[in-house]
Structure 1
Amino acid sequence: MKFFFVLLLLISSFNALAVEVVIHNLSSLSSNAQNTVSIWVNQSVEKTQNTLGPLKQTTLPIYLKPQYFAFEPVPWATVKRNNPDGLELHIDRYASLNAFTKDWTLYHELSHLYLPLLPYSGFWLSEGFASYMQNVIMRDSGIITQPQFVQRLNAGFDRARMQTKTKTQPLNKLSADMWKQRAQQRVYWTGAAFFAQADLKLQKQGLSVAGIIKQYQVCCRPARSSAKTFIKELDKLSGSSVFTTLYAKYNTRTDFPDISKEQLNTL
């Protein structure tokens, strides 16, 4: 009887995903690890969809790359753009469910799937959205507290401020060359600041970035897009000029915006 209720709970949870999660290479793990990874992946997709809405795609392939020696649960991951889009996850095969759940990486990569593939010069938007939203998802689902949410964002912003002192190119130029320049901190977290400021402005209209992205999934998300087209669609959905105005400030900026902990605490 106990097994029946556990099975029923898992089926109900998986059905709530509204997307079929297909985990490749799961059989390379022990039976206990298979169960752990399956629960972690499906619960993470559910948490993400609770914040951002259902993914547009009906199938989500997850390609596992288990490691024997890893210093963190998910040392590396990436989006695999295809039809459908998927994720490649390099994981610690011995990590616990609790360790996986508290790791930010999967929430970050899942967030990428809500945006179209943008050109390299617009990667500050892609990475900024994922860096900001990973913390929103973890906060919304109770994995981190509101003070931890503020602390994590502020820490990321501090790293970006520091790197901005040496990486002084316009943001769109640096974005296109961030791997060679090793400028990920400035690119990722300046992009996150963009979406945090957008949320602050949208709050005045009773809206949110997550809510606009939910609508974007339903009506407008293509496989690829220019940054300007993406931004214009978000403004149409919000009935405002919030995104276009911020984009004009951020796209070629060479400094880091001024965002206080007090402002972040209102998000």
Structure 2
Amino acid sequence: MTTGPRAWLLGLALMLNACAVVPPALPSKDSASLRYNIAYTRQPQPALDVEIVLLPSSPSDFLFRQPERVDTVWAWREDGSSDALRLRDGAVHVPPGTRFLRYHYPLAPSRGGGWSFFFGMGDQDSWHVAGKAYLLRPRTVTPRLRVDLTVSGTSALLPWRADDGGVYHLRGEDLVDSGFHGFGGRRCEARVGASVLEVALLGSFTHLSDADLCAWLQQAAREVGTIRKAFPHPRITVRVVPVPGEDSPALFGMVQWSSPPSISILVGQDATAASFAGDWVALHEMLHLAHPTLLPRVAWLTEGLATYYTEVARARSGRQTAEQAWKELTSGFARGRSAARSRTMAEVVAREGEWQGIYWTGAFFALHLDVELRRVTHGRARLEDVLELLATRGPTSSLGSFGAAVDTVAGQPLFDALLARHLTTPAFSELDALLDNLGVRIDPGGVKLHAAPGSRLREAMDGERSPDDGG
């Protein structure tokens, strides 16, 4: 694992991954308020032609969450007349009598077209785009809003499942958190226990077969089982996008909190199956499914949990040794400490652009919290038990609720005092003492593990659960 690709991932994810999660609504028998007909077209260049069919009760104000490639929306009336509606800050107001809204969304990257991972990138006749980039949605989404959506012109992998007639029946909230979408490409499935990963392979690879790519994702999903008792969702979708001229197994990944969640990963087009042995990106993204989404967002904790458990899970599965895991963790802590300088943790995490400090102060706090939970319960409880408890309480949580769950698992107040110690003192000020207690020594040649007062806790953390074979 190299510092460069990991650094790129951490920075981009922190800058871009800021979607809110809406708790699932109860199914409704209400008829759809809106219908989206999405047509994939190839000429003169790949694009999505979107038609929104309105009813008298439909909303009249719409917006793009990320206006980028559309500047005009056409409003059509029943008599065939139309008006060109120019976007104002990504928004349009629908004139009375409008029956259809139509617009053209180009998929091919254009000059100054922004970060293509969201707005459209592809290979040959396969394309990847975030739903929030191309879907015009109502400015106000009410709980009763229902949406029917169809796709024509190519096969699509959206976060949701269509009915037998190819219609997706969505809640209004699905337009708000619409996840990643894939058009064209090939499909494979990876199964872990009772869960399924539906995968879109959006382009060609020099050395990788479809089976290689699906096996890699299945391995990552199985490693989540070293942290959680079962894979956190019965179904998710994953899009794999090749990056020409690159041979890294995974360059960047992100989870979007659609319902169910959707993941997309950029993979070097010239990567080999052997290179996946050292990959951590797919696992890191899937580990975000192991914790609830915190609202308001607490990036240092959610990214810290995923970063910490990325190394723990790879050690527990046998993909790396305990020494390698601690080398990765201590190297990351060193980078975080360098970025933090002498500032307190509170000062570090308050500056969102300083992702090295944010991710690794969070990972260090997760490690310390895991150690303290095991210590005060004499090994009967661990940080994973907090995640299991929170999973019974719904897909979202808050920092306060997370702390209360920690205290419940610990059987005593723990979280607030430990967090206050970290926030008010220089970041990583307790690192050296903690590593010494765990028997982790950093030598010029690497990391040495040795007997120490807390070495039994460290050994339990490294290898206490074997991954579920799935099947």
The answer to whether the 8 Å contact 1:79/1:88 transfers is: yes
Which residue of 394, 397, 411 corresponds with 1:239? Answer: 411
Per-residue Cα deviation, 1:16-64 (whole angstroms, up to 9, x for no partner): 433110112x263369521110011012101211332223321111122
**Structure 1: 5+ residue runs without aligned partners?**
1-12
Partner of 1:192: 363
Partner of 2:214: 38
2-structure distance, mates of 1:60, 1:121? 22
Q: What amino acid is aligned across from residue 367 of structure 2 in structure 1?
A: A
Which residue of 16, 19, 22 corresponds with 2:195? Answer: 19
Count the aligned residue pairs: 247
Partner of 1:48: 224
Partner of 1:175: 349
2-structure distance, mates of 1:145, 1:56? 25
Partner of 2:204: 29
Partner of 2:50: none
| Superposition pairs of residues 72-221 of structure 1, within 5 angstroms | 72-119=248-295, 122-165=298-341, 168=343, 171-172=345-346, 174-175=348-349, 177-179=351-353, 183-204=354-375, 205=377, 206=379, 207-217=381-391, 219-220=392-393
**Structure 2: 5+ residue runs without aligned partners?**
1-188, 441-448, 450-454, 459-471
SS of 1:66's equivalent in the other structure is strand
The answer to whether the 8 Å contact 2:241/2:267 transfers is: yes
Task: Answer 1 or 2: which has greater helix percent.
Answer: 1
Please tell me whether Structure 1 or Structure 2 has the larger radius of gyration of its CA atoms: 2
Deviates more, 1:141-150 or 1:67-76: 67-76
Per-residue Cα deviation, 1:60-104 (whole angstroms, up to 9, x for no partner): 111222112225211111111110112110112332233123111
Per-residue Cα deviation, 1:126-184 (whole angstroms, up to 9, x for no partner): 11101100000000011111111111111111111111117x3x5456435422xxx11
Per-residue Cα deviation, 1:215-255 (whole angstroms, up to 9, x for no partner): 432x12x3332212222123223423333332233345543
Q: What amino acid is aligned across from residue 431 of structure 2 in structure 1?
A: I
Deviates more, 1:142-151 or 1:116-125: 116-125
Check 1:115–1:51 CA distance in 2 against 1; reply closer, same or farther (3 A cut).
Answer: closer
The answer to whether the 8 Å contact 1:121/1:176 transfers is: no
2-structure distance, mates of 1:223, 1:212? 14
Q: TM-score, normalised by structure 2?
A: 0.48
State percent identity of aligned pairs.
Answer: 22
Check 1:117–1:52 CA distance in 2 against 1; reply closer, same or farther (3 A cut).
Answer: same
Partner of 2:173: none
RMSD (Å), alpha carbons: 2.5
Per-residue Cα deviation, 1:173-202 (whole angstroms, up to 9, x for no partner): 6435422xxx11111111111111112112
Check 1:90–1:253 CA distance in 2 against 1; reply closer, same or farther (3 A cut).
Answer: farther
Check 1:134–1:68 CA distance in 2 against 1; reply closer, same or farther (3 A cut).
Answer: same
